[in-house]
Amino acid sequence: MPSIQGPFDVVVLGAGAAGLMCAAVAGQRGKRVALIEHNAQPGRKILISGGGRCNFTNIHCTPANFLSSNPHFAKSALSLYQPRHFLELVERFRIPWHEKTLGQLFCDGSARAILDMLLGECERGQVELVVNARAIRVERASRMFRVHCSAGEFAAEALVVATGGLSIPKMGATGLAYDLARQFGLRVVEPRPALVPLVLGGEEAGWTSLTGVSTDALVGVGRTQFPRNQFREKLLFTHRGLSGPAVLQASSYWSAGEPLVIDFAPGTKVLAPLFAQGTRRDASTLRQALRSALPQRLADRMASIGAPEGWTNAALEARERHLHRWEFHPVGTEGFEKAEVTAGGVDTADLNSRTMEARAVPGLFFIGEAVDVTGHLGGFNFQWAWASAVAAGRAV
């Protein structure tokens, strides 16, 4: 029979970014905290994040950087714990960092430093970290949550669920948070892969011959004249379709059947040389103009789609417009195996935005990626993990 551990004031499920932060904050407030993780090590995703250097926050973080069925929900937590607060912690631990681009803050060295910092903070809060805890089940009786798992039985009046979303199952992602939400009567917004490469099929599959080609582009989603949610960053052709930061960002807004609309040369009149006096208009000058604005393999592919009809001004102008409004029709995403995050999750309508506590179940909290709040690429997902964790850590 597994032994009963404790007593505890708070049990936190999931020792990832949000769970570690929440446990540390609650522990340092004097709460007796158990932090329960099914992997053999805590914080595995932190270690692989940001290419191993952890893009731990973004100094330009605003609520507009997040997707949610309720765009207002994240405001309170994000304003109470801001990027500068996390940066103060990073500096207190003397972790060298730098700003890369677009306000993204990375460690100079390894992401390990961020995990060690969080573990240090948990130690200061005398958090009891339990790893290899499998087959978690939760019951509630007379205001106490009882957590049963292979590592024993843990009881507390507050339960914080920080087990993340479904992305990267091989790192230990599970749907436990959604199962627990449903068990306690909370709604779940259908989880879907986000920040995920898109797959091309049919005739468009031919573009995968450009695998490895990367170009600056403006990528948006939608059929209208003005595509939604445009992102100007790199686009990368892959052996299955499209990726790169601009496509990953747009993927969070994409749904099946919608086109991806791409401006391959934002702000540039690519074919302007063909309008210059005395310039010959033929396949060779067209290719040259394309090569001066685009990577060579992409330019050659664009040139190979045929000559503008009659080489008239109107035909060249139409070709120019096409370069700035190129549509791809992805047949799907690369799924949770490749998605950096999970969009959707525990419905914010059932949570208190200041504390992350379930409105109808006192003592039950959901934080981090498990919640229907999803950040853009660039450090925003960690900032949400920290902010929601601090909100709950102060409330438990």
Ligand X SMILES: Cc1cc2nc3c(=O)[nH]c(=O)nc-3n(C[C@H](O)[C@H](O)[C@H](O)COP(=O)(O)OP(=O)(O)OC[C@H]3O[C@@H](n4cnc5c(N)ncnc54)[C@H](O)[C@@H]3O)c2cc1C
Residues that bind ligand X (CB under 6 A): 13-19, 37-39, 44-45, 48-50, 54-55, 136, 162-164, 167-168, 172-174, 176, 340-341, 368-370, 379-382, 385
Q: Supply 21's token pair.
A: 């932060």
Q: Supply 279's token pair.
A: 């310039």
The residue written with tokens 């120019």 in the block is 320
Question: What is the nearest approach in angstroms of ligand X to the Cβ of residue 384?
Answer: 7
Sheet containing strand 55-58, strands side by side: 55-58, 104-107, 97-99
Residue number, 182 or 321, with CB nearest to ligand X: 182
Question: What is the nearest approach in angstroms of ligand X to the Cβ of residue 253?
Answer: 17
Residue number, 179 or 300, with CB nearest to ligand X: 179
Question: What is the nearest approach in angstroms of ligand X to the Cβ of residue 168?
Answer: 5
CA dihedral angle for residue 339, residue 341, residue 347, residue 348, rounded to 10 degrees: -150
Residue number, 111 or 303, with CB nearest to ligand X: 111
**Would you say 356 and 369 are in contact if contact means Cβ atoms under 8 Å apart?**
no
Question: What is the nearest approach in angstroms of ligand X to the Cβ of residue 339?
Answer: 7
b/e 72-88 (16+ beta carbons within 10 angstroms → b): ebbebbbeebbbeebbe
Residue number, 18 or 303, with CB nearest to ligand X: 18
Residue number, 13 or 271, with CB nearest to ligand X: 13
Cα Rg for the chain, rounded, in angstroms?
24
Question: What is the nearest approach in angstroms of ligand X to the Cβ of residue 336?
Answer: 10
In angstroms, rounded to a whole number, what is the distance separating the alpha carbons of residues 198 and 200?
7
Residue number, 227 or 368, with CB nearest to ligand X: 368
Question: What is the nearest approach in angstroms of ligand X to the Cβ of residue 89?
Answer: 15
Question: What is the nearest approach in angstroms of ligand X to the Cβ of residue 9?
Answer: 20
Q: Supply 208's token pair.
A: 């995968």
Q: Supply 269's token pair.
A: 């009149």
Residue number, 164 or 244, with CB nearest to ligand X: 164
b/e 313-339 (16+ beta carbons within 10 angstroms → b): eeebeebbeebbbbebebbebbebebb
Question: What is the nearest approach in angstroms of ligand X to the Cβ of residue 323?
Answer: 32
In angstroms, rounded to a whole number, what is the distance separating the alpha carbons of residues 331 and 258?
9
Residue number, 16 or 191, with CB nearest to ligand X: 16
- First-last CA distance in the chain: 29
